Structure 1
Amino acid sequence: MPFPVRAHLRRLTRARLPFAARLGLSLAIGLGAAGACAYVLMHHRLRDEEIRSDARTVAADARTFERIARASSTQQEARSEISEILRADRDARLASVDRTVFEVALIGLLAGLLVFVPLGGTLVREHRKALENATLDGLTRLPNSRAFATELRAAVSRARRHGEQVSLVAFDVDDFKFVNDRHGHRRGDELLREVAAVLDDGRAGDRAFRIGGDEFMLLLARTSEAGALAVCRKLLERLERAGIRASAGLADLRPGDDHEALRQQADAAMYEAKRRGGHQVAPFSEIADETSVTSAEAGLALRTLLDLGEAETVFQPIWDLRRGRLLAVEALARFPQDYGFDGPAEAFDVAQRIGRVHDLDVLCTREALRRATRELPPDTLLFLNVAPQTLDRESGGDWLLQALDEAGMGVERVVIEVTERVGARTAAVAAAIDRLRDHGLRVAIDDVGSGAGGLEMLRRTHPDFVKVDGSVVAAADGDSSARAVLLAIAAFATQTGAYVIAEGVEDDAALELIRALPGAVRVDGAQGYGLGAPSPDMPTAQRPPASTQLAV
């Protein structure tokens, strides 16, 4: 078989052809084989027929033989002459048959080639195009998330092998949801194509990807953080000239990190850029001391949890000490043990590390509202925990108002609970709280006394409820410093008119302590395992357990 033909067949057999291409190839080979088989079968069949015909001819020409024998000088000459006649006749008939069979086989082979060459070539091209499209984003024609995962892993491996530098930049369009809502999805698609064009028109060797939505990645091989920072600023300037604002997070490969860690760092830096107001680039090195990177397994577990929406809600009662009745229930998130998280705190910690706190908060809030809308007792408030990172966004708490509206829950029955541990986000969180309060929501500051930011949050937010951290309550009985902190918090809240709730009330001794505070300082409510543990069932009893002093 000629080498070009063998090479062509080798490529075809190695290619993962779709069914239609395999059908076309089979049809071509089948037609050619059919022609060849027809040639062989007809040749053998006609050869048998020729032998039988010879016998009939000999019998039929007996008288001819006799005439020739009489006319011939010897019998041997007669036989010789007759054999020559028969051989000439046979050769003539076989030549005619061979030509006919050869023509049939040639027609079959040509028909197969005529079918396969154009059809097979077209199908192979379409197959290659389908493989290419599988790694391209349909809207922007940039490589997609599948291609990004492959190339990022390869780039990190190459950088490790050759001792090179590699940087990764996460881009996210600012206020993209506003553009979609205000100007329609067509304008949103045009904007994404414009962003893709700018990112793809960079330095030779840089690779831009669209991961999904308004999220893009830029892979910079053999580039340090300083070089990548300069590239990012130029790209943001070009986007600004096109009327597009975007935030960028930059991370460079550090010793001991893998491709998953590099991506998490770029995501975390991008969210930091948004927290700072957007339309800027934030290097991960600036937040590395306050941000840790989780394992690939934990990150995958959290992403799977979010994709499947597997959040559960338990409820813990909050009691009014003065009236001795149920004041509210606090909704607390729980997750299936299959994901391997050691409680909800670890799940939210992982979410913070990979930049998915907002998504996890939204999931938990919607599940809590779904339950509470049907089960919350009358005249009972619902305390909803909201992460500061969720409020510290360009949209503030708009998503929360939308969730309440979709669930049919009135804002007058909901208290937004925000921890005092907001770090540098105090101003942005306080502004978001003010907007939510303007819509009729009440606000509680949680974990007051556990850190240094409690008084600042109290001063800037003027909360409706102040929840004293359980560690302060537990230590107040035997620790004068802890008792002083408890008194200071209660006095501050009393002066501002806030309702004070003591957390971590585990027994009657703690309950007696907070009821016996001196003077005008008071604690209005209590919450803890001693008064009711978190339960999947909604608390419905309006009076506390008979075993506690609160029931007296």
Structure 2
Amino acid sequence: MSNDHIVSEEFPKINAPIHVSTILSEGQLSELFDEIKDLIQSVALNGHFLFANRAWRETLGYSVEEVATLNIFNIIHPDHHLHYQKFLQRMITGDGESVGLIEIPFLSKDRQIIVLEGNVNLYSIDNLPIAIRGIFRNISKRKAVEAEISALKEKPVDITSQNRMEMAPCNNEQLFRGLTEVAPVGIFRTDATGKCLYVNERWCNIAGMDAKTASGYGWIAAIHPDDCARVMNEWDKAVQYHRQFLSEYRFQTKEQIITWILGHAQAERDQNGELAGYVGTITDITDQKMKEAALAESRNLLETIIDTAPVRIFWKDRSLRFLGCNSMFARDAGAKSVQDVIGSDDYQWSWRAQAESYRNDDQVVINSGIPKLAYEEPQTTPDGRMIWLRTSKVPLRNGHQEIIGVLGIYQDITKQKRIYESMRLAATIYQSSNEAIMVTDENDLIIHINPAFTRMTGYEKADVVGKSPEIFRSGRHDAVFYQDIRRRLLNEDYWQGEIWDLRKDGTAHAKWLNMSVIRHPDGRIHYHVSQFTDITEKKKKDELILSQANYDQLTGLPNRNLFKDRLERKIKQSRRIGQPLSLLFLDLDHFKDINDTLGHDKGDDLLREVAARIKSCITGTDTVARLGGDEFAVILSDSVSNQRVEPIASHIIQNLNKPFNFNQNRTNYHISTSIGIAFYPQDGADMKSLMKHADQAMYAAKLEGRNRFCYFTPSMQREAYEKMALIHDLREARGRNELQVYYQPILELSSGRLIKAEALVRWKHSRRGMISPTVFIPLAEESGLILEIGEMVFKQSIALIDQWQKRLGYMIQISVNMSPVQFKFMNKFSWLDELTQLGLPGSCINVEITEGLLLKDSAIVQEYLLEFRNSGIEVSIDDFGTGFSSLSYLKKFDIDYLKIDHSFISQLIDSETDRTLVEAIIVMAHKLGIKTIAEGVETKEQLDLLTQFDCDYVQGFFYSEPIKGKAFEKLLFEQLNRTKQ
């Protein structure tokens, strides 16, 4: 029976996981072991060699390839086979994993006996024995010396000659001492009690003690205090049981020099076989111990590094089952411990969806022997998230360079990938942004620009990199402006605003610029980032709209809104510094006759000339405004009395009395004006009262015959009484059925269909006839009657909507005007409740409001508009373009329609300015998602232009004047019949 067979029966093969320290220490670190002079071997339990270092191979004469084919039973001396089997049995079943020092007689390649002595350990994982590992020294020479000494001791004595009896011991003793003095090891002899009889010089050198001191029991003092008790116990047991003494321990000299030794002693017996003493050796093994400690430390360090490394490490066998891993890998797998991973495969863990891909990579590395390095792959985590890994895999080899599996290392790079993707997205945004971006360094020198910068400015990257942004300065801003920017950036890390710079071609352009500072962690400036958009065209449009909103497009004078703003400012200034002022209201006498006779073109020419003549009568500190139609106003500063005002008023009247000539026939036309004058503060302490009293004075001038001026006097309050009477009649008007609702059709231009209407209230006074809404609506608002009137208009309108829907089968939207008074006092839910009762949607009503209402930006207005939006009611801005306003409310509020005032439409054909304004309003509204309705359309030419401008809806006399409900219904039925045809 072969030795392999014996071992396999007694010690069946164990399929245990191979620990990474075993593989790496004996395989990947073989070069390190080859530098160690001690003989190192690792043998599987079945006797097959796993590894042998260079010192071992050179001592026994085997190559690396030959070691891979060896079985330990083939190279152990046959007489030692049984002893080795018993030793192996003790290693596996014994109390400890180590049995201390052992001597093994090996057969070298040339069949010489080489005796090796060393420490042998059983390597196990989780109590599963894996291999026998040993570190040896070649003690063949020592064993030869010991054999010679033993032969001398056992040499027979000739008892027939006394001389020979006396000489033989002497000769033997002399020979013994001669041999010991040249021996490379320390040699000692004791009696049966352990008392030292002899030590050689080598022993004294190692122990740091002379022979005399070592005699008797003095040798014990050479043993290190920490080892002494153990060594003496082992010695006593050897003496007690007459056994061999073999132990590793330390000597410590008086100079505290510590030496590791291997002590070995054999019993000597007399002729009767009784114990006579011990003869032994000590070998300096300090170097070996230091190397063993370094190797152990290296192995522990390697295992610690593997387990604590900030990467995931695993290794598999050729069947792709896990042999081991570090704790971070186990945690990623969701395993409780590393042991839960060992023996499993990829299909058992959360990344089972990627298992096939992982295993394919593993197999390629194993089959090819070529590493696969630094590639990215996904992995599913135990909690279901998807993460990204950067993985490297290499062939896993044993000490004989055979591939036994695969070793893998990976890192979780999910965060890095997100950062990279964010950076790539930022770079894409940077390159594709429509906003120009410029980056400067801490010295404010340009280091980068994006393509949009080049498109907007004309500068290429090569033109600007390394230069200061000062090269763009237009000269429109002073040093203080730029100093303020720098101060804000230093203190707040941010600045934004409008700035004018130069393009590469030298043209100026306006920019809306945002600048921010990026700092180092220590607070130092790293970069300045500037982002801007070119707002040059926007500013032109804004200026156009602003001009329309604040200036009369015909005369170039401030319009009513700007006039009121200036008057308010003047009043505040006068109040603050005590400077008086006066206000003149002018109304041209019989201007309508000129318009009707000569046409609107000549009327416009006259108004322009009137404006110029009025301006010629005042100074640069005064203000002339056109309030609308043929009404003008003048604000005179520093006019405490009529001493300054009267000459100016007279001069204006005289100038306007001069003839006007508008044609080649030199026909002269004449016009006059009526002027009302009020003083601040005596005639009014605020703008409203001052304007009211100036207006009253103007009407007084007209009543007195026109072409004159009148000062406000208290007697003019009779007009107030007249107003009171009119308000009284208005209160009675509804009861007398004098208030009626008319409906003006609104056409959709794209289809030509009548789909909307505006509800307009009319007052037919029983004595005075038709009273203009411009007269009674202000009175209704002032008196609060507007609430009742507005409710009447709304109820009649929705009743008709309901009626027409039932008769026609579709819904008509009706616009109702809502005054500020209604917003302030009306229950905002009442209209919604009434719509609900009729089952009508909110979209059947469109509420028309003025710009002034939005400019107040009151909480009540915001609440109403929000409620309207939520309920589907649409909102229109009426008379758009006639007020003084910022267009910011178009962004702030949800507006559905802009109603372009009839004053623009009336001049649409004759005035290029009005055409430009109307087109600009339509374009702007569409850009903001707002539809447009043109009011006062009276001619086909106007209609054609509005169609060309892409206006959405029109209303005006060209199609129909405001009509009663029945007449409107007739139009609807006519339209329905045309559709059916």
What is the TM-score of this pair, normalised by structure 2? 0.25
Richer in strand (by share): 2
Higher relative contact order (CA 8 A, sep 6+): 1
The structure whose Rg is larger is 2
Richer in helix (by share): 1
What is the TM-score of this pair, normalised by structure 1? 0.42
